[in-house]
Chains A and B, each alone.
Chain A
Amino acid sequence: MADTIGIWVAALLTLFIFSFLYKDNPLYKMAEHLFIGVSAGYWVSYLYQNVFKPNLYNPLFHQGKLLLIIPLILGLMMVMRLFPKIGWISRWSIAFIVGITSGYYLITYLQTNAVDQVRASLLNFSQINNIILVVGVLSGLIYFFFSAEHRGVLGGTAKLGIWFLMVAFGASFGYTVMARISLLIGRMQFLLGDWLGLLH
């Protein structure tokens, strides 16, 4: 019974959202507001149960891990953002997070996303694909080199870079279309199969 009610609610809300494709209307607005409200409530309760309690509350107050007072204080300082007069206090927590994250990621991120990529791009010229890759990388980089006027050889290479960028954007667009159509198929399967029982 609960499943049936759930399916009906989900199906009607899906149709309310789809109704925007015709034009904006109160049913769409209702579904949109409901989604935002339910999401906010869901995430607050989920994060309390699965993040705050197991990572801070239980270890600090039930297991006596006193070192966790530091993140508790930093967390409380972050909440100060809600009070305009003392909102500046939250900057300390933000600074802490930014500092830790930068230090944590800097070397690994550079190694994984820059050094390894450059190495793989430049070393192997045995295949035509690698040559195209290197030409694409260099011409793309030259397009973003703004310290000299794009004329002559530099201008031609930058123009080639634009072509490579356009191909990359086209590939991204194609993948985005594929993703959106997949989600539409998922919804249609739900409406026609799970809700109406027309698909087997």
Chain B
Amino acid sequence: MGFFRGMLNLDRRIIFILIAGAVVVPLFIPFHLKMHPTPASQGLYNAVEKLPEGSTVIISGEYDPGTAPEIQPMMIGALKHCFRKGIKVILMGLWPQGPALEGQALQEVFKEKEFKEMNLQYGKDYVNLGYKAGGAVVIQSMGTSIPATFPTDMAGTPIEKLPLMKGIRNFNDITFVLDFSAGDPGTPAWVMFAHDRFHVPMAAGCTAVSAPMLYPYLQTKQLSGLLGGLKGAADYEWLTKSSGTGIRYMPSQSIAHLVIVIFIIIGNIAFFVVRKGEKR
């Protein structure tokens, strides 16, 4: 009884220390966990895998440094997947910091020998159109005219000077949209306008917090696939046979979850035992 009463009054700082330990120790002693990709992650992978070489894909980044630990591994995974398949990539963002983080993701990708040797060229194989304010209105406007919505790329180069953008008028010239979003404006706006109004197939990646809100779009097939949080990122790295922070962070994530689950179970048992004792 004393033990259970003590558990109910446990100093929260002890829990913080245990969680910190659960996160830090696997970073020092890494071990690999076998991944079992979810059908939602598999859906995104399959959708990109089916795209023919030379397709043009828009990858939009709606996240910031605060949510980058979850979203950035997805962005890096998507860039690698597209480049391996010879897909042309148009980067953009509806959040101000999105395109800058996309630039960092590109730098990460090009650090790897495989992609360095591909000799991919800015303007021909990929472009970064940068940030545009307006959220859903921007997507709607792109449905009418992409050059009118983004007259220049992120660096201020007129897009008619970029070979990749020649012949790109609106969503009719876009094969697929990948949206990586941490909130609003984000995936719901892309689904509403790019998919439902202009009929561009799409998939998304999001922070774990927003995943339950986006799952309904999977059963309606408005999204071909969905990467939810760090687990989604790890799934994607596993499926594309890439190494990255998604898989690297999974042991920390799993051990921390285990500690939380154990505390929830002990807390509940303690609650019922103490209540039963008090009734007597």
Contacts and interface: CB of A to CB of B under 8 A. Distances in A.
A141 interface: no
A177 B257 contact: yes
Contacts of A120: 219-221
B190 to A, nearest CB: 10
Nearest to A22: B13
A72 interface: no
A172 interface: yes
A188 interface: yes
A192 B192 CA distance: 42
A51 interface: yes
Given A120-B220, A175-B208, A179-B208, A50 B131 contact: yes
Interface string B1-38: 00000000000010010011001100110000000000
Contacts of A51: 133
A144 interface: no
A122 to B, nearest CB: 12
A196 B41 CA distance: 34
B126 interface: no
A182 B16 contact: no
A178 B23 contact: no
A85 interface: no
A68 interface: no
Interface stretch (B82-90, B116-124, B226-234, B265-273): B226-234
A119 interface: yes
B136 A199 contact: no
Interface of B: 13, 16, 19-20, 23-24, 27-28, 66-70, 96, 131, 133, 136-137, 188, 191-193, 196-197, 207-209, 211-212, 216, 219-222, 228-231, 245, 249, 252-253, 256-257, 260
